[in-house]
Amino acid sequence: MLGQIMDFIDDRKRAIGTQITHLEYNEQETSFRRAKLGTPVSTFWPSNDFRDLATKPLELLRFLLSRSHQYKRMFSPIARKHVTQSEEHDLKLLSQIIDHIDSRMHAIRKQIAIIEGVELRLLSLTNETRRSALPPEFPQIGIDNEPSPPPPPPLSLSAENSISSAASIAHSTSTEVSVVPSAISDDTLVAPNSPLIVQDDMLADPVTSADGLTLHDSDDKLWNALDDDTPDTLMDPPSEATHEPVRATGSTSTPSVRRRVDHTASSYYPEIISILKGTFKLSHFRKNQLECITATLDGKDVFYLAPTGGGKSLCYQLPALCSTGKTQGTTFVISPLLSLIEDQVSTLRKKGINAFRLINTVDADQANDAMPRLRKGESLPLVYTTPEKLLGSNNVQDIVVQLYNQKQLARFVVDEAHVIGGWRVWRESYASLGILRKQWPDIPIMALTGSANMSAIEDIKESLALRNPVCLKQSFNRSNLYYKVKKKPSQKKELLKEIAGFIQSHHKDDTGIIYCLSRDDCEDVARRLREEFNLSARHFHAGMDRDSKRINQEDWSNGKCKIIVATVSFPIIVVRFVIHATMSKDMDGYYQETGRAGRDGEPSDCVLFYAYSDAMKIQNMLKNPHDQNNKPPPDEIQRQLERLSAVVAYASNEGDCRRVAILRHFDEEFDEAECHKSCDNCCKPGTVVNEDHTETAQQAVQLLRDMSNCSRERGIALTMFKDVWRGKKGATVSAYTGLPGYAAASKLDHRMIDRIVTQLLYSNIFTTRRTTSGNGFGNNYLEVCNFSLLSRLSD
């Protein structure tokens, strides 16, 4: 059946893509409504009969779900804006496609849950006694029972950046190859939901605690400053009804309104403030914290988005300790990371807060384990668990039923909610969390994330079936961070010299993190910084044994080590500088990693060493992952490449304010005047000049085609192509000197040549093909990927 819709969409994609591009060009004009598609509207429509799913194996279902997500992402943003324009037949069609994909995704998720046994396990609990414990709405397995999803809510155009169709590529081609490629990031940014925390930290490291690594991070200064200049709380109008039928995105379709509510007048406030001061020893709330706490105590669903270090944890930790509130008892916090759970539990227990973990642990010390206590019927305010444990364990399910029965189930908290919606869908159990709402419709859910743009937010709300959630969002701007991108030297020795020089001159006695791509690199960089530059660097990654981790943590705690060279799996600390020795794989990762700097509000530096070759390395890793058995589907690889392209666009942009680019990724408008020269581009003297290099790009495409046609080699290496285009002389290029494009770029600066080639690669007009020679060495050859785009270029 998915094949049917995919075929249908594939047929329409090109036409819709053209339409979308057209709309983007004319978004200010009313005439776009009358724009016609290039192909006649099909009368064929696939049915909503999804019985085919029943026969599909789990792997295929996951793949299908991922593809459906991909399609939805592509079509949703534009449809949200225009779906109301009913006179535009094609846009109506677009919204019908999305509805259909929605229904399909519901059905696939349900089937996955059935196969994984999640629902079956829950049902197996429903013997006579247990069934009576369940709410009357307890759903039966059966796709027929599925409520049909309402249409997606209208949303602002700013969410349109996830479109990655051929049409948008064509659009970008004609406009983006410019001195100031600001438009690139507009079009190439893709909705995040990215794994902010790498796989190697997942479940692999149940015993690591970050205790020793946590600095005193009183962030008051930063957050007070933020409070002053962040926009008002955005709240969706809350609904009084808590027993409404579960609705997906439609539940959020009511337009947001700005309203100020005096939360200090709420009946919960006296207890809230007493716990804030007495238990947490804090004097006041940061932006949105009180709103969030009051809403959850009032039994409402909450979606809470705040930048890293914004104080999300307090929003569920504090209400968990309240005895007032509509729901009482245990707060279950669902977190994807074992190391984060361990860290949170031990930090809270040090403060005298009764937090427990509900995970599979090999730790001999079971003092923090929730299970034995819950079995004994002890009342535990705060229990951290993983989605797998919560949904997959019969024992845990027994206990949840029991707590619910006794009205001792206070709320579910989904931390790092951006994990929902990525590929790997992604931890399947995260994607299955929608079942919480189905099983316990009247238990409030709180979703927290530090990284989500508009379409990701919609995905989260929909997947968790949040009901009229109170949405609290905060500006992502980190005004105390200085962003800088530097050209990465090709020799590692030179890179280390630059890094060491920067640290010695700017941060001699400060703490900092250096991010590397691989564990080996991480170890090597730390060692060489120690040995060759006398810097107190230690490596840290999830592949280390427990003793080495402990030693490095101790060295950090006692000040012997000031610099941590890490992969992305490093526990939370406050540092004065973050250096990316290799670029991040996506903008979310980059934002999270740089966000480690200056969590105390003091000015801090974020330096990215960028080389296009790193992007190629990552691209190859994405296309050819080590674990071939776990290779994402092609569509997902494409999405990851697009996310990578957003970082390339960011890093290679030498003109636009970095802050604007970063915040745009989170759908946040930012006036570059507010940057106050706190990024390298804003500090550059002179004015920005826009240049259109479309013609040059066309020449490049033609030249590469001509070179490929006359080459007797296995392929055209990137350097060879550039040499020919520049008009290099000598024997190596002699085969190509007669071509019309030879030396066509002789007057261009070499950086401009690099940027044009980069943009052609990331616009999918050029691609690279990797071949391995007989002696095992790999070569990257440049090819024209999409000839049809070439003809569009010349139109």
Ligand X SMILES: Nc1ncnc2c1ncn2[C@@H]1O[C@H](COP(=O)(O)OP(=O)(O)OP(=O)(O)O)[C@@H](O)[C@H]1O
Which residues of the chain form contacts with ligand X (CB under 6 A)? 217, 219-220, 282, 285-286, 289, 306, 308-314, 450, 572
Q: Which lies closer to ligand X via its Cβ, residue 152 or residue 309?
A: 309
Instruction: Give 75's contacts (C-beta < 8 A, 6+ positions apart).
Output: 16, 94, 97, 98, 101
Q: Rounded to whole angstroms, how far apart are CA atoms 57 and 115?
A: 8
From the CB of 245, what's the least distance to ligand X, in Å? 32
From the CB of 215, what's the least distance to ligand X, in Å? 9
Instruction: Kindly give the pairing relationship between strand 577-580 and strand 302-305.
Output: unpaired
From the CB of 567, what's the least distance to ligand X, in Å? 17
Tokens read off for 327: 């729901």
Q: Which lies closer to ligand X via its Cβ, residue 217 or residue 602?
A: 217
Contact 422, 457 (CB under 8 A): no
DSSP state of 439: H
Q: Rounded to whole angstroms, how far apart are CA atoms 569 and 535?
A: 22
Q: Which lies closer to ligand X via its Cβ, residue 448 or residue 454?
A: 448
From the CB of 513, what's the least distance to ligand X, in Å? 13
Residue type at 83 in one-letter notation: V
- DSSP assignments along 256-303, one per residue: PEE----GGGSTTHHHHHHHHHHTS---SPPTTHHHHHHHHHTT--EE
Residue 471's alpha-carbon distances to 247, 286, 468, 682, in angstroms, are: 16, 16, 9, 33
Q: Rounded to whole angstroms, how far apart are CA atoms 316 and 299?
A: 13
Contact 341, 387 (CB under 8 A): no
Q: Rounded to whole angstroms, how far apart are CA atoms 284 and 552?
A: 35
From the CB of 216, what's the least distance to ligand X, in Å? 8
Instruction: Give 200's contacts (C-beta < 8 A, 6+ positions apart).
Output: 519, 541, 542, 543, 567, 569
- Give exposure, 575-611, as e/b (b: 16+ Cβ within 10 Å): bbbbbbbbbbbbbbbbbbbbbbbbbbbeebbbbbbbb
Contact 669, 659 (CB under 8 A): no
From the CB of 349, what's the least distance to ligand X, in Å? 15
From the CB of 305, what's the least distance to ligand X, in Å? 10
Q: State the CB neighbour count (10 A cutoff) for residue 721.
A: 23
Q: Which lies closer to ligand X via its Cβ, residue 282 or residue 621?
A: 282
From the CB of 449, what's the least distance to ligand X, in Å? 8
From the CB of 308, what's the least distance to ligand X, in Å? 4
Q: Which of 248, 291, 255, 293 is nearest to 271 (CA)?
A: 293
Q: Rounded to whole angstroms, how far apart are CA atoms 334 and 576?
A: 31
From the CB of 450, what's the least distance to ligand X, in Å? 4
Q: Which run of H or E residues covers position 766?
A: strand 766-772
Q: Which lies closer to ligand X via its Cβ, residue 387 or residue 595?
A: 595
Q: Rounded to whole angstroms, how far apart are CA atoms 595 and 309?
A: 8
From the CB of 12, what's the least distance to ligand X, in Å? 40
Q: Which lies closer to ligand X via its Cβ, residue 73 or residue 287?
A: 287
Q: Which lies closer to ligand X via its Cβ, residue 90 or residue 220?
A: 220
Name the residue with tokens 């570059």: 672
Sheet harboring 766-772: ordered strands across? 716-717, 778-784, 766-772
Residue type at 441 in one-letter notation: P
Q: Rounded to whole angstroms, how far apart are CA atoms 455 and 76?
A: 8
Q: Rounded to whole angstroms, how far apart are CA atoms 693 and 699?
A: 10
DSSP state of 193: -
Tokens read off for 201: 């930290």
Instruction: State CA 274 to chain mean position distance.
Output: 36
Q: Which lies closer to ligand X via its Cβ, residue 306 or residue 784?
A: 306
Q: Which lies closer to ligand X via its Cβ, residue 308 or residue 759?
A: 308
Q: Which lies closer to ligand X via its Cβ, residue 61 or residue 447?
A: 447
Q: Which lies closer to ligand X via its Cβ, residue 344 or residue 385?
A: 344
Q: Which lies closer to ligand X via its Cβ, residue 220 or residue 442?
A: 220
Name the residue with tokens 């959020």: 252
From the CB of 506, what's the least distance to ligand X, in Å? 24
Q: Which lies closer to ligand X via its Cβ, residue 311 or residue 741?
A: 311
From the CB of 446, what's the least distance to ligand X, in Å? 13
Contact 600, 574 (CB under 8 A): yes
Q: Which lies closer to ligand X via its Cβ, residue 104 or residue 411?
A: 411
From the CB of 276, what's the least distance to ligand X, in Å? 7
Q: Which lies closer to ligand X via its Cβ, residue 166 or residue 198?
A: 198
**Alpha-helical segments (H) within 127-219:** 128-133, 166-176, 182-188
Paired with 784 in beta bridges are 766
Closest CB to ligand X: residue number: 311
From the CB of 268, what's the least distance to ligand X, in Å? 16
Q: Which lies closer to ligand X via its Cβ, residue 314 or residue 399?
A: 314
From the CB of 310, what's the least distance to ligand X, in Å? 4
Tokens read off for 41: 């509207």
